[in-house]
């Protein structure tokens, strides 16, 4: 996986998906009003009426917003369009024709239809132009709440468009105790017959949303409402829903025996079972909150040969149980959200993994090529809910140990008289870096012979080459790839132009990236918290210069020594061989680096980046050399 998308969990209000879209919009739009009303029943089922009026301010915005999309899950709810029309600037009302309302599969691969009934209802508004208003109202009749007998919703509001009037109402029986947490919304509560009516209101002026490495549920105006009083009850209730599907059948019992073979060590048995599920059960990336929360039976997952994260967990649990090895289902966020709301909802919980208490080890069989006990970078240090029949437990997944994630790149290259460069690159990795490198190897296999040229172009060079590596599925904690390359001739390198040393077929991030700042976190300032990780990154580039060519100036060495960051950037010239070696060791105390620590790390990262960007220049005069 090359990126991770932001998942909006438990979308009870259409406004969630709409604002996520509006925040990215370049063309202007004004939300005149949005009203979300929930009439909740004793068993957690409810009727949700949602009505909105929005005005595209120009024709470009009208073209973009003239088609509205509403997600729903037919197995859980009935969706009814109550009204939908375009109100022209001159007052005319043009209803959306029945033929302009249609259903379609949710976006993504067609595989999603195998394990979810999530659908989209599309409304196409007639003759919508800038200055007109589009109006629609829909009703969701939720017959079966995703978590039985519980009511949970979560909403965040973007600052990317002006929101003149937003109201959310929840009417629930007095016997159904609701808990809430609101940020930048006001609340009012009143009795309504035998029920309690809770109302939240907000008006959000448009404002530039600064770049952030954190998700919307960590920073934007937001609201959590839940009938779950705490995470102990929440984890217990989800365990009651999910874990019965991990029942051990005679077929699963026999399969577990065949997989472990003659292994007597229980940890080795667990490892073999994990690797079997990782290798044999295709992962379909359906996240918690996308449709039903209930997994399939373990026997069904085995028969299908595919499943989402919940399905992976129940199958692995069943196989482990067949060998008497206890396991717990764990829910966490695998994106850029680092806080869980109070009270519990699925807002920040979009993934499920497995915890093995006997070994105090977290494993994620959906990661496919991840070694046993290795998680994705984005999982470490996150709060996580252990779903247990005797009561859920809220824990923090341990941080990465300083030596657990390591990568090393070595490129040896020769600059020839015509300005071309040939060389080799070797990359080795352990921990989450090894998982990333295995995925890169899988990408190379998929891309074929052109992969080296594609990667060189991505790094800013024209050329060709080839990769060599063991199958990415090969078991083991470490992984390595190598490659050979030829870069197109650049005579300017020999006539006084400055240039950076060639990195060759680099695949993983350069020192400082990932560990000190997330990839792609452009625009984030030194005052903004960012994910950070302990680990080691080493990069060495050796360039042999053409005979008789002299280096005008050797870049200065860089050295950093703090409690959190140790870095050595060294430059050496021995005869015609120029070497730059960068070694970084990071030690963090939290999953997020913030405050003074973040400011120090940002300054240190900039020094590292300058060292890695340093360029060299050759004299345009050729010096005679000894034969």
Parts of the chain belonging to CATH 3.10.620.30:
234-396
Identify the residue with better confidence: 381 or 294.
381
Express each pLDDT in 135-144 by its tens digit: 999 999 999 8
| Winning range, highest mean pLDDT, from 203-212, 225-234, 286-295 | 225-234
Query: Rounded to whole angstroms, what are the CA distances from 356 to 266, 352, 373, 618?
Result: 11, 14, 10, 58
Stretch 215-222: mean pLDDT, rounded?
93
Express each pLDDT in 564-577 by its tens digit: 999 999 999 999 99
Would you call 546 helix, strand, or coil by DSSP? coil
Q: Is the peptide bond before 343 cis (omega within 30 degrees of 0)?
A: yes
Residue 605 has pLDDT above 50, yes or no: yes
Most distant CA atoms of the chain, gap in Å: 102
Distance CA 601, CA 7 (A): 29
Res 24: pLDDT? 40
Identify the residue with better confidence: 305 or 209.
305
Q: What angle do CA 293, 295, 299 make, to 5 degrees?
A: 175
Distance CA 567, CA 555 (A): 16
Res 76: pLDDT? 86
Residue 110 has pLDDT above 70, yes or no: no
Res 292: pLDDT? 65
Stretch 371-383: mean pLDDT, rounded?
94
Res 15: pLDDT? 35
pLDDT class for 70, splitting at 50, 70, 90? very high
For the ranges 177-186, 281-290, 400-409, 412-421, the lowest mean pLDDT is seen at: 281-290
pLDDT class for 288, splitting at 50, 70, 90? low
pLDDT cut 90: percent of the chain above it? 80
Tokens of 627: 């034969």
Tokens of 382: 């996150």
Nearest to 435 by CA among 403, 475, 466: 475
Residue 625 has pLDDT above 80, yes or no: no
DSSP codes of every residue in 295-354 = PPPHHHHHHHTEE-HHHHHHHHHHHHHHTT---EEEEE--SS-----SS--SSS--EEEE
pLDDT class for 290, splitting at 50, 70, 90? very low
For the ranges 112-121, 157-166, 410-419, 577-586, the lowest mean pLDDT is seen at: 112-121
Express each pLDDT in 38-67 by its tens digit: 999 999 999 999 999 999 999 999 999 999
Residue 5 has pLDDT above 90, yes or no: no
Stretch 537-544: mean pLDDT, rounded?
98
Express each pLDDT in 235-277 by its tens digit: 999 999 999 999 999 999 999 999 999 999 999 999 999 999 9
Q: Check: CATH 2.60.40.3140 for 15-227?
A: yes
Distance CA 531, CA 537 (A): 17
Strands 406-415 and 535-544, bridge-based pairing: parallel
Residues 6+ apart with CB under 8 A from 63: none
Query: Rounded to whole angstroms, what are the CA distances from 520 to 67, 360, 400, 530?
Result: 30, 33, 21, 12
pLDDT class for 619, splitting at 50, 70, 90? confident
pLDDT mean across residues, the chain: 90
Res 119: pLDDT? 87
- Look at the block and give the residue holding tokens 């373990």: 298
Identify the residue with better confidence: 223 or 104.
223
pLDDT class for 452, splitting at 50, 70, 90? very high
Parts of the chain belonging to CATH 2.60.40.3140:
15-227
Distance CA 488, CA 67 (A): 48
**Phi, psi (5° rounding) for residue 407?**
-145, 150
Res 14: pLDDT? 32
Res 505: pLDDT? 97
Distance CA 380, CA 401 (A): 10
234-396 has which CATH code? 3.10.620.30
pLDDT class for 496, splitting at 50, 70, 90? confident
Express each pLDDT in 158-197 by its tens digit: 988 999 999 999 999 999 999 999 999 999 999 998 899 9
Task: Compute, in degrees rounded to 10, the torsion defined by CA atoms 233, 239, 244, 247.
Answer: -140
DSSP assignment letter at 277: H
Express each pLDDT in 315-346 by its tens digit: 999 999 999 999 999 999 999 999 998 999 99
413, 543 in Cβ contact below 8 A?
Answer: yes
Res 623: pLDDT? 62
Nearest to 223 by CA among 465, 19, 435, 26: 19
Distance CA 33, CA 12 (A): 18
Parts of the chain belonging to CATH 2.60.120.1130:
406-616
pLDDT class for 7, splitting at 50, 70, 90? very low
406-616 has which CATH code? 2.60.120.1130
Taking the CA of residue 63 as centre, how many other CA atoms within 13 Å lie in the half-sphere pointing to its CB?
Answer: 5
Strands 393-396 and 383-387, bridge-based pairing: antiparallel
For the ranges 6-20, 282-296, 372-386, 535-549, the lowest mean pLDDT is seen at: 6-20
> Alpha-carbon Rg of the chain, whole angstroms?
28
pLDDT class for 2, splitting at 50, 70, 90? very low
Taking the CA of residue 399 as centre, how many other CA atoms within 13 Å lie in the half-sphere pointing to its CB?
Answer: 17
Distance CA 123, CA 121 (A): 7
Stretch 497-502: mean pLDDT, rounded?
94
Res 206: pLDDT? 82
């Amino acid at each position: 996986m090359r990126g991770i998308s932001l998942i909006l969990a438990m979308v009870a209000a259409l406004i969630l998906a709409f604002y996520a879209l509006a925040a990215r919009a370049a063309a202007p739009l004004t939300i005149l009003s949005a009203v979300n009303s929930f009439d909740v029943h004793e068993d957690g089922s409810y009727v949700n009426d949602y009505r909105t009026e929005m005005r595209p301010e120009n024709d470009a915005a009208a073209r973009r917003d003239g088609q509205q999309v509403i997600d729903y899950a037919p197995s859980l709810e009935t969706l009814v369009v109550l009204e939908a029309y375009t109100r022209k600037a001159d007052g005319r009302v043009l209803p959306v024709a029945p033929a302009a309302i249609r259903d379609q599969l949710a976006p993504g691969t067609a595989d999603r239809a195998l394990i979810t009934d999530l659908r989209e209802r599309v409304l196409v508004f007639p003759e919508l132009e800038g200055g007109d208003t589009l109006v629609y109202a829909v009703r969701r009749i939720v017959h079966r709440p995703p978590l039985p007998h519980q009511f949970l919703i979560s909403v965040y509001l973007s600052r990317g468009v002006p929101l003149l009037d937003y109201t959310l109402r929840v009417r629930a029986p007095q016997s159904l105790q609701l808990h809430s947490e609101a940020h930048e919304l006001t609340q009012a509560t009143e009795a309504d017959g035998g029920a309690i009516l809770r109302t939240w209101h907000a008006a959000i002026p448009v404002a530039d949303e600064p770049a952030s490495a954190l998700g919307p549920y960590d920073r934007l105006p937001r609201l959590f409402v839940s009938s779950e009083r705490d995470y102990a009850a929440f984890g217990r209730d989800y365990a009651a829903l999910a874990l019965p599907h991990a029942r051990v059948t005679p077929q699963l019992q026999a399969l577990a025996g065949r997989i472990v073979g003659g292994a007597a060590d229980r940890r080795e048995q667990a490892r073999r079972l994990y690797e079997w599920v990782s290798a044999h059960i295709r992962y379909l990336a359906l996240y918690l909150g996308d449709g039903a929360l209930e997994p399939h039976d373990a026997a069904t997952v085995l028969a299908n040969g595919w499943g989402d994260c919940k399905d992976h967990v129940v199958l692995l649990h069943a196989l482990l149980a067949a060998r008497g090895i206890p396991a717990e289902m764990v829910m966490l966020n695998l994106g850029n959200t680092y806080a869980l709301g109070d009270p519990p909802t699925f807002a920040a919980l979009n993934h499920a993994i497995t915890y093995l208490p006997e070994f105090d080890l977290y494993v994620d069989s959906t990661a496919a090529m991840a070694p046993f006990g290795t998680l994705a970078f984005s999982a470490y240090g996150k709060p996580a809910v252990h779903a247990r029949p005797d009561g859920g437990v809220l824990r923090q997944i341990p941080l990465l140990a300083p030596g657990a994630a390591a990568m090393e790149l070595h490129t040896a290259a020769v600059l020839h008289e015509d300005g071309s460069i040939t060389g080799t690159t070797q990359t080795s990795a352990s921990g989450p870096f090894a998982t990333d490198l295995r995925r890169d190897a899988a990408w190379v296999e998929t891309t074929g012979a052109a992969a080296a040229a594609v990667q060189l172009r991505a790094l800013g060079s024209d050329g060709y080459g080839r990769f060599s590596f063991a199958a990415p599925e090969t078991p083991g904690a470490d992984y390595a790839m190598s490659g050979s390359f030829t870069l197109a001739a650049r005579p300017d390198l020999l006539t006084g132009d400055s240039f950076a040393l060639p990195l060759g077929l680099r695949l993983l991030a350069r020192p400082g990236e990932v560990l000190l700042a997330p990839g792609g976190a452009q625009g984030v300032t030194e005052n903004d918290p960012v994910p950070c990780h302990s680990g080691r990154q080493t990069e060495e580039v050796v360039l042999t210069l053409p005979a008789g060519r002299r280096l005008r100036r050797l870049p200065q060495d860089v050295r950093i020594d703090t409690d959190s960051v140790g870095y050595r950037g060294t430059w050496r010239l021995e005869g015609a061989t120029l070497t730059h070696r960068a070694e970084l060791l990071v030690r963090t105390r939290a999953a997020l680096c913030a405050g003074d620590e973040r400011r120090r790390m940002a300054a240190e990262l900039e020094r590292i980046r300058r060292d890695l960007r340093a360029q060299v220049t050759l004299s345009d005069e050729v010096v005679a050399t000894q034969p």
